[in-house]
A and B are shown apart, each in its own frame.
Chain A
Amino acid sequence: DGGITQSPKYLFRKEGQNVTLSCEQNLNHDAMYWYRQDPGQGLRLIYYSQIVNDFQKGDIAEGYSVSREKKESFPLTVTSAQKNPTAFYLCASLTGRSGANVLTFGAGSRLTVL
């Protein structure tokens, strides 16, 4: 089954701790994205990567970091600098081939800060 796997599904963190959310895809997609979703709101872009070893900030990158060492993997670290980290985090991927511009999303990871 091809798709995007996010883990963990639920995560609890104490204030001041960094946490890393995993995102793995076996779709052979070039580009990967992290979005944040808050209750009653649309998704907002945190970071994205269009190619291995390269990534760009999205609209709300402060307090987050990413890496893209492998095509299949795009982990997101929520650092202690993120002031309001409780949210639903969604990873997505997109093929770079012309004409196939649809984002495929994972099932999400829900982070709660205690």
Chain B
Amino acid sequence: GESVGLHLPTLSVQEGDNSIINCAYSNSASDYFIWYKQESGKGPQFIIDIRSNMDKRQGQRVTVLLNKTVKHLSLQIAATQPGDSAVYFCAENVGGTSYGKLTFGQGTILTVHP
């Protein structure tokens, strides 16, 4: 039968605001986490990653926070721009396995209004 798509979480912000996208991960053995950005009809693009021995990592305009106690990951985007509008996925990898074997979250739609 036909599968029904899930309704993705959405976040709408004004240009220039800061955005925070949250992700709950499932496997307490995961030790590597990564955020991807996917624009419509394209493949995912790497944004930032973090290993489990860290709780914060900063990139250009982006920060990832990791809370292993509650298995929560967040992506903060500073001064959000219309070009940031996309679907954002978090993904996790269990240590000791191929780093390309990622378990992805369902994604969050970010819409930035000019």
Contact = CB atoms under 8 A, between A and B. Distances in A.
Interface of A: 4, 31, 33, 35, 38-45, 48, 50, 58, 84, 90, 92-94, 101-108, 110
B104 A43 contact: yes
Nearest to B104: A42
B101 A108 contact: no
Given A39-B5, A90-B44, A44 B98 contact: no
Contact of B101 (A38, A48, A104, A107): A48
Interface residues on B, range: 20 to 34
Contact of A41 (B6, B34, B36, B44): B6
B100 A40 contact: no
B89 A42 contact: yes
Contacts of B89: 42-43
Given A90-B44, A107-B42, A108-B42, A40 B99 contact: no
Contact of A108 (B43, B103, B106, B107): B43
Q: Which secondary structure dominates chain A's binding surface?
A: strand
A48 B100 contact: yes
Contact of B34 (A4, A44, A102, A107): A102
B102 A103 contact: yes
Nearest to A107: B43
B99 A41 contact: no
B49 A108 contact: no
Nearest to A100: B99
A14 B71 CA distance: 43
A41 B102 contact: no
A58 B101 contact: yes
Contacts of A84: 2-3
Nearest to B90: A42
Given A90-B43, A92-B100, 13 more contacts: A42-B91, A42-B103, A42-B107, A43-B89, A45-B102, A50-B98, A84-B2, A94-B98, A94-B99, A103-B34, A105-B45, A107-B42, A108-B42
